[in-house]
Amino acid sequence: MSEEMRDYLVYTKVSFLLTFNSPEFNSLILRDVQNAFAAHVKAVFEKNETLREYVSGDLDFWCQGREVDLHYKFECHDESEAEAESFSRYCVNGLRKKLEAWGCRMTGIECRAEEADMSRLDRLEDTVFGPKESAQKQPPAEDKSGKKTSSKKKNSRQER
């Protein structure tokens, strides 16, 4: 029997090395090159339907010379932390060629998953649908013929 599916927040870091190495390269334009690279990565992520769905928040870039680290949060629903981490890694690896086409090399992917705190969504559902503790059983409904029928089982939060 498989584990219950849970919501996970995967903190993902993708490391790159800007591979241009030319004697004509002027280190004064390094900041412009880093900004252009960040714009390229954002464009690739925005065009990918899966990452648009699962990446939450901003893509954050940390630059140290020719080394660039991309940090983002990946939210998914999976069986375990290891599965969630694997899915995040799989998604970014699927974009490797497009990302490296700019002139960089992907040097690593690190993922750390945590079970997501969904209490804010529970509070929102309680606001919209009412608290589940106060949900009352409804009497059997009558169909048009006047016969009583049993009421339908109320959907759980996961099914709503």
**Each residue of 86-121: pLDDT tens digit?**
999 999 999 999 999 988 999 999 999 998 765 555
Q: Which residues in the chain belong to E strands, given as ranges?
A: 6-18, 55-64, 67-78, 104-115, 141-142, 148-149
Average pLDDT over the chain, rounded to whole? Answer: 81
Cα separation, 20 vs 86, in Å, equals 30
Q: How many DSSP H helices and E strands does the chain contain?
A: 5, 6
5-14, 71-80, 142-151: segment of lowest average pLDDT? 142-151
Mind listing the domains of the chain with CATH numbers? Answer: 6-115 (3.30.70.1120)
**Residue 10: strand pairing partners:** 74, 113
pLDDT of 64 over the 70 cut: yes
Question: What is the reported pTM?
Answer: 0.69
